[in-house]
């Protein structure tokens, strides 16, 4: 059945250079619809750059990126978002003076077709309110809905970051280190959240915490110095000798 349908996200020989410095050096990757795919690798391997290239923050220097078979390489970030790919950021990237509710609502508007609507009061759009409230429940922020996002705790801001990312209903989501900087219990909550919100969606996640990665991902790709050195199931990645020497090292034996 699935043989005919293209991957949700497919990268073919993607390169990204900044000036003369190659950061991403020929990445090919296919993520199937509904798959949870983790991207791991040492600092400076190019994970965040790869995310930026996929999501349209930068255009790739060369190569092809396809979303459900449709070429998106070099498209603008907002065009890619409208096609159903949404991303979060490693460094929290929210609207600090807007309320939690409004932060999420900003992400809901376009996908529900309200676009550049300058005639209807946004409070009178029931579909917008309903989707926003549902997203707030999902990220368990309903009680904080009227707080300005800038005054939230770090963990709350991270949850809001995920809320903004999923609220549009995008079916491919990219999460950049959603548990970075969190305490153990906060991270556990965040992982539960990621698990819930990625149901029925395709997930590509960058994560440093190996226990998170091995517990969550269907498949893992290891990015080292701008290239993917292995893509496989968590068990086989754990057993892969190349990966151990290149990256996991101590962690795998611990």
Which region among 7-15, 38-46, 125-133, 188-196 touches another protein (by CB under 8 A)? 125-133
Using CB under 8 A as the binding criterion, the count of chain residues that bind another protein stands at 43
CB nearer another protein, residue 146 or residue 200? 146
Q: Residues 91-110 vs another protein: string with x where CB under 8 A?
A: --xxxxxx--xx--xxx-xx
Q: Pick from 86, 138, 221, 240: which binds another protein (CB under 8 A)?
A: 86
What span, in angstroms and rounded, lies between the C-alpha atoms of 214 and 222?
Answer: 13
Q: Pick from 49, 111, 198, 231: which binds another protein (CB under 8 A)?
A: 111
Q: Pick from 12, 32, 122, 229: which binds another protein (CB under 8 A)?
A: 122
The distance of closest approach from Cβ of residue 238 to another protein in the complex, given in angstroms and rounded to an integer, is: 33
Alpha helices in 175-245 (DSSP H): 184-197, 210-216, 234-239, 241-243
Q: Are 252 and 70 in contact (CB under 8 A)?
A: no
How many residues can be counted in the chain? 254
CA count, 13 A, side-chain hemisphere, 135 = 29
Sheet holding 219-224, edge to edge: 85-87, 172-176, 202-206, 36-40, 219-224, 227-232
Applying CB under 8 A, does 82 fall inside the site for another protein?
yes
The distance of closest approach from Cβ of residue 151 to another protein in the complex, given in angstroms and rounded to an integer, is: 13
Q: Residues 167-206 vs another protein: string with x where CB under 8 A?
A: -x--------------------------------------
Q: Pick from 146, 185, 199, 241: which binds another protein (CB under 8 A)?
A: 146
Q: Are 203 and 195 in contact (CB under 8 A)?
A: no
Query: Residue 195: which residues within 8 A CB-CB, separation 6 or more?
Result: 216
Q: Pick from 70, 76, 134, 184: which binds another protein (CB under 8 A)?
A: 76
What span, in angstroms and rounded, lies between the C-alpha atoms of 122 and 140?
Answer: 23
What span, in angstroms and rounded, lies between the C-alpha atoms of 25 and 166?
Answer: 30
Two tokens at 54? 């996929």
The distance of closest approach from Cβ of residue 13 to another protein in the complex, given in angstroms and rounded to an integer, is: 25
CB nearer another protein, residue 17 or residue 145? 145
What span, in angstroms and rounded, lies between the C-alpha atoms of 163 and 169?
Answer: 10
User: Which residues contact another protein (rule: CB under 8 A)?
Assistant: 55-57, 76-78, 81-82, 86-87, 89, 93-98, 101-102, 105-107, 109-111, 114-123, 125, 129, 133, 142, 145-146, 164, 168
């Amino acid at each position: 059945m699935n043989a005919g349908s293209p991957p949700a996200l497919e990268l073919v020989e993607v390169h990204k250079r900044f000036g003369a410095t190659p950061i991403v050096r020929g990445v090919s990757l296919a993520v199937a619809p509904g798959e949870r795919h983790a991207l791991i690798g040492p600092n400076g391997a190019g994970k965040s750059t790869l995310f930026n290239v996929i999501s349209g923050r930068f255009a790739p220097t060369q190569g092809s990126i396809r979303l459900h078979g449709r070429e998106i390489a070099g498209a603008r970030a907002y065009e890619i978002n409208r096609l159903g790919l949404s991303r979060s950021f490693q460094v929290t990237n929210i609207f600090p003076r807007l309320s939690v509710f409004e932060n999420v609502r900003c992400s809901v508007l376009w996908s529900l077709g309200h676009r550049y609507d300058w005639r209807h009061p946004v409070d009178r759009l029931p579909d917008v309110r309903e989707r926003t409230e549902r997203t707030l429940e999902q990220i368990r922020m309903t009680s904080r809905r009227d707080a300005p996002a800038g005054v939230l705790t770090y963990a709350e801001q991270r949850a809001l970051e995920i809320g903004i990312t999923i609220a549009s209903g995008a079916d491919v989501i990219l999460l950049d280190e959603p548990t970075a900087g969190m305490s153990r219990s906060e991270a556990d909550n965040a992982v539960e959240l990621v698990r819930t919100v990625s149901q029925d969606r395709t997930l590509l996640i960058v994560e440093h915490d190996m226990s998170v990665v091995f517990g969550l991902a269907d498949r893992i790709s290891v990015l080292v110095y701008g290239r993917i050195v292995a893509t496989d199931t968590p068990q086989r990645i754990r057993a892969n000798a190349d990966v151990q020497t290149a990256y996991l090292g101590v962690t795998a034996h611990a």
